[in-house]
């Protein structure tokens, strides 16, 4: 799958600044999309690629998550993110699957730093906190990937186990009418 060209870029999703929109990257964006679509308080998940700046300026698979902080906290979202992808080890595909939390402005960055530092007390996360510079939405046929093909081999092998983990470890924040059919 190739990254959509800049004509298909959806930076307009970012133009209306919303402090309740964060970027999350780390594993396959199909997995990340399904995980965050399953959570109460998550209003929208846009799946695609995010670029930051400097050495992280290349696009990496990620999602934009719009959430209601009255229903689900930033801390819970970040903890779920860290526990549902390989956030403690490097590997050869880290460029494509950058373990990162993306902020839109400095007001978002500080709480992310505090939360990540607290979570690092229990494990050695390699996840970076990066500025969200650009976002490109995936092609329509790949959006809502798990919801549209839960029986596909990839979904059964990689996404379903993560959703089962989510149901067991974060029961209170998984939607009762789960769109991803978490078992």
Residue 77's domain is classified under what CATH number? 3.30.1060.10
Is 130 among the domain residues? Answer: yes
**Helices and strands, counts by H and E, the chain:** 7, 6
In Å, how far are 1, 66, 142 from 39, measured between CA atoms? 27, 11, 20
Domain holding 134, by residue range, is 7-159
5: three-class secondary structure by DSSP: coil
The confidence band for 103, taking pLDDT boundaries of 50, 70 and 90, is: very high
Distance CA 169, CA 8 (A): 37
Is 179 among the domain residues? Answer: no
Is 180 among the domain residues? Answer: no
Distance CA 109, CA 86 (A): 22
**How many domains is the chain built from?**
1
Distance CA 89, CA 76 (A): 21
Q: Average pLDDT, stretch 113-141?
A: 92
Report the chain's C-alpha Rg in angstroms: 15
Is 79 among the domain residues? Answer: yes
Q: Average pLDDT, stretch 129-138?
A: 95
Helices (H), 12-154: 12-15, 29-37, 74-83, 106-119, 145-148, 153-154
> Are the C-beta atoms of 173 and 41 separated by less than 8 Å?
yes
Is 110 among the domain residues? Answer: yes
Give the global pTM. 0.86
Q: Average pLDDT, stretch 20-28?
A: 92
Is 122 among the domain residues? Answer: yes
Is 80 among the domain residues? Answer: yes
The confidence band for 176, taking pLDDT boundaries of 50, 70 and 90, is: confident
Q: Average pLDDT, stretch 36-51?
A: 96
Query: Which residues have C-beta within 8 Å of that of residue 122, sequence separation ≥ 6?
Result: none
């Amino acid at each position: 799958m190739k990254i959509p060209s800049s004509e298909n870029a959806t930076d307009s999703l970012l133009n209306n600044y919303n402090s309740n929109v964060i970027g999350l990257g780390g594993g396959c964006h199909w997995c990340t999309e399904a995980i965050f679509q399953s959570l109460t308080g998550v209003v929208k998940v846009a799946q695609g690629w995010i670029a930051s700046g400097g050495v992280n300026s290349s696009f990496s698979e990620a999602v934009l998550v719009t959430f209601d902080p009255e229903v689900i906290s930033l801390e819970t979202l970040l903890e779920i993110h860290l526990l549902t992808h390989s956030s403690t080890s490097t590997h050869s595909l880290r460029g494509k699957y950058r373990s990162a939390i993306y902020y839109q402005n400095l007001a978002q960055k500080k709480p992310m730093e505090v939360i990540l530092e607290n979570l690092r007390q229990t494990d050695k996360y390699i996840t970076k906190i990066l500025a969200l510079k650009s976002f490109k939405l995936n092609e329509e046929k790949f959006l809502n990937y798990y919801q549209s093909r839960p029986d596909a081999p990839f979904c059964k092998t990689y996404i379903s186990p993560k959703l089962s983990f989510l149901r067991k470890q974060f029961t209170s924040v998984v939607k009762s009418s789960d769109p991803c059919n978490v078992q």
